[in-house]
Each structure stands twice: as C-alpha cells, then as structure tokens.
Amino acid sequence: MKRRVNVIGVGMTKFVKPGTSPEYYEMAREAGTLALKDAGVPYAAVEQAFAGYVYGDSTCGQRAVYELGLTGIPVVNVNNNCSTGSSALFLARQAIEGGLAECVIALGFEKMGKGALGNKFDDRESPMGQHFQVMVDEQGFGSSPPAAQMFGGAGREYRWKYGTKKETFGMISVKARKHASNNPYALFGQVLSLEEIMASDEVFDPLTRFQCCPPTCGAGAAILCSDEFAARHGIKNPVYIAAQSMTTDFASSFGEKSMIKMIGYDMTKSAADQVYEAAGIGPEDVDVVELHDCFTANELLTYEGLGLCPEGGAEKFIWDEDNTYGGKVVTNPSGGLLSKGHPLGATGLAQCTELVWQLRGTADKRQVEGARVALQHNLGLGGACVVTLYRRD
C-alpha cells in the first residue's frame, strides 16, 4: 500500500550570476541546513539522500551532503538535465511512498559558468540531436544557440499555426519580472516594460534576450517524510505530495516534424494528465503553478500542456492576465526561470520550495490568497518531465 509523502522542510539560497557564487557544496550546505531547520529535525534522522546536479564530477552529491553530516547513509547522484532537481524529488518521494525510508532529503545545486546553457543540448549523436539537425537543415535556423533554436522554433511553429503576436511571448517576461520583484531569492528583481523586453537583442525569433533564462548558481533542498514520522515529531497538517509523474520522450518527439513535440509538449501533457487522474482533480482546481519557463515560448506552450487553457487559447489566456494575480491561476509567482534564474540541478527544488511556502501561506508579498492546491512542472530535454501536485488540507 502506498504511503502519503509529506514535505516538512524546504530551503534555498539566493540565486546569483556565474562567477559570484560560493562553491557548490557551500550552497548545498546552506540550502540543506535551512531545510532541516524548517523541518525541525536533525540530520541524523535523515535515512537517504538524493543529490541532483548537471555540471560536476561523479560524486559531487557526496561532497555536498557531507557538509550536513557524516552518517553513512546512501547518497544517490542524479542528473536529468534541467529536470534534475525534480528527478531527485521523484526518487525521494518513491523511497517514502514505498516504505523504504521514513525521512529523506532531496538536494539540488549548480555552479554554472557563463554561457553554460548555450551548447547544453548540442548533441548530434542523440535521437534529439539527429532530429534537430534535420529541422535545422530543412528550415535554415542559423547559428543561434541550439536551445534557443529549439524553443524559439517551437514558438515560431505555434505562431504559424495560430497567428500569435510576438508581443504575446514578451508579455510572459513582463509578468515574470513583476513577480520576481517581490522575491528576494530571485536573480533579477528589476521590473521591465513590454517595450524594453521586445527591444532587447534578438536571440532567435520570436525570442529576445529578456525572454531567455540566464545561467545561474544556487541550491535548493526538501525534507520528505511519512505520516508516521511527522506524527512522532509533532508535525501537524504538513504540505503533502498528492500525485507525481515522470515521463520521457514518446515516438512523437522525433517522429513528427514538430519543434513543439521535440521540446516535450507530449511529455508535459501526459505527465499532467496522469497527475490529475491520480489526484482526482483537474487543472481548474489548481491555485498556483511553478512551471518550466526556460524560454517564454515554453511557458506559453506549457499553459496548454498542463490544461490551464485550451489548445490555441494561450494568447487570450496571457492578454486576459489569467496567468497572474487576480486571474484564473497564478503562474511562477517566484519569477520563474526567466527572472529567478535557472541553476539546473536546483531549479526543481526551488520550485518545490516556493510552492510549499505558498501552501503554508508564508510567501510574503508573493502570496496567492487561499492557495491550497499547487502544481509543479519541471522539464529537461533529452528528455524527462516531472509534474508534481501538492496539497495542504
């Protein structure tokens, strides 16, 4: 019988630019220590650790976790590209749900270099790389960074299909900057106008520079436990994971001449559908969402993949401001990857942290009033998508 999994402690560092951060294990220590303090349990109570990062040596997880203590517990190193943090969370949840442990930590961190995202997906030997090369050859994308070509290409495809205005994509960055201005952990806190976003350097049509997430350094952590562990430690009414799903690529990712499919739309839709079915609710019941806005084009597509609006309805959803406070569902109150930043291994756990704060009612100026149901979406090309539904009764 599956057990309920609670998130009893979360913590994260402030996200910063490459070249300005402490060492990865120092950031990991800060996030992990904050999560343990938040949970109110000692590190000695933790039975397993899942450590996520993309750039680093094979046992960086041990180096990071050892900053919290040397107790001999299993430490599993996790790398699933941009969905690494949520992949660590997925494994931690399974350990508790399956009865293999009572208390575990998921820890994600990244110390990135400048331009690190530029060539991350440029693997011509992989199925994705081969399919991408075919698209490049047929459509003549040029010399922009591969990730921008992929997600920008998906934005173009959407525009060709629905006649979407370029400014619609820019409005997503306007929202992201506005939300991030209330987040002390975010990399970018300066509010920008639509005109400023559209006037920034073009990276790959329809994307401008301020519509692309920046390489970032940071760490995040979450402490998960069973109901029995929570009861023994006097933890009442915790946030819990109501449902979670991980998907990888389907044949449609590479079998169709579609950038939208290639960047994970079907992974997103399938994972979301599984989560809604398992939780017994629908997208209309969700109060707040942290989704993978590595580029504005991906946020727009993810609205539809998660069922927040109908297919082809994202433009109206954006201009009606149904994606922000006062609308249907607040998306990325943290500022998202676009403005909070995107340290690959930490992103999924930073999303978790924000949503736990939201459901506890402790998100300060970012608080979504009355939030009880939260949805998390974390995507990594190559590929993996993790969708997690949190609740607090």
User: What residue type is assigned to position 390 of the chain?
Assistant: Y
Alpha helices in 188-312 (DSSP H): 194-199, 227-232, 251-255, 259-262, 265-279, 296-305
Quote the pLDDT of residue 108: 98
Residue 350 lies in a domain: yes
The total number of structural domains in the chain stands at: 1
Other C-beta atoms lying within 10 Å of the C-beta of residue 235: 17
CATH of the domain at 349: 3.40.47.10
What percentage of the chain's residues is helix, strand, coil (to nearest 5)? 40, 20, 40
Question: What is the residue range of 262's domain?
Answer: 5-114+214-391
142 found inside a domain: no
Q: 295 and 176 in contact (C-beta within 8 Å)?
A: no
**Residue 20 DSSP one-character state:** S
Q: Cα(83)–Cα(278) distance, rounded to whole angstroms?
A: 21
* Contact between residue 389 and residue 241 where contact means Cβ atoms under 8 Å apart: yes
Q: Which two tokens mark 23?
A: 């060492």
Q: Where are the alpha helices (DSSP H) in 40-165?
A: 60-65, 84-97, 127-139, 146-162
Could you tell me which of 360, 373, 351 has the C-alpha nearest to residue 52? 351
pLDDT of residue 143: 64
DSSP conformation class of 257: S
What's the pLDDT tens digit per position in 207-243?
Answer: 999 999 999 999 999 999 999 999 999 999 999 999 9
Burial category of 58 from C-beta neighbours within 10 Å (exposed 0-12, middle 13-18, buried 19 and up): exposed
| Sequence-distant (≥ 6) Cβ neighbours of residue 109 within 8 angstroms | 24, 25, 27, 28, 31, 51, 52, 53, 60, 64, 218, 219, 220, 343, 345, 346
**DSSP code, position 110:** E
Distance of CA 376 to the CA centre of its chain: 7
User: Would 148 be classed as within a structural domain?
Assistant: no
In a domain, 185, yes or no: no
**Does residue 126 fall inside a structural domain?**
no
Q: What is the pLDDT of residues 19-41, one digit of tens each?
A: 999 999 999 999 999 999 999 99
Please state, in angstroms and rounded to a whole number, the distance separating the CA atoms of residues 36 and 305.
34
Q: What is the pLDDT along the chain (393 residues), one digit of tens a residue?
A: 789 999 999 999 999 999 999 999 999 999 999 999 999 999 999 999 999 999 999 999 999 999 999 999 999 999 999 999 999 999 999 999 999 999 999 999 999 987 655 555 445 555 555 555 555 555 555 567 899 999 999 999 999 999 999 999 999 999 999 999 999 999 999 999 999 999 999 999 999 999 999 999 999 999 999 999 999 999 999 999 999 999 999 999 999 989 999 999 999 999 999 999 999 999 999 999 999 999 999 999 999 999 999 999 999 999 999 999 999 999 999 999 999 999 999 999 999 999 999 999 999 999 999 999 999 999 999 999 999 999 999
* 229 within a domain of the structure (yes/no): yes
Q: Give the pLDDT score at 142.
A: 59
Please tell me the distance from the alpha carbon of residue 285 to that of residue 308, in angstroms, as a whole number. Answer: 10
122 inside domain: no
User: Angle, nearest 10°, between helix axes 296-305 and 166-180?
Assistant: 90
**What type of residue is 208?**
T
Distance from CA of residue 255 to its chain's centroid? 26
d(CA 290, CA 208): 22
Q: For position 140, what pLDDT does the model report?
A: 53
Of these residues, 82, 213, 225, 352, which one is catalytic? 82
Active site residue 225: no
Q: Rounded to an integer, what distance in angstroms lies between the CA atom of residue 384 and that of residue 91?
A: 14
Residue 318, domain member (yes or no): yes
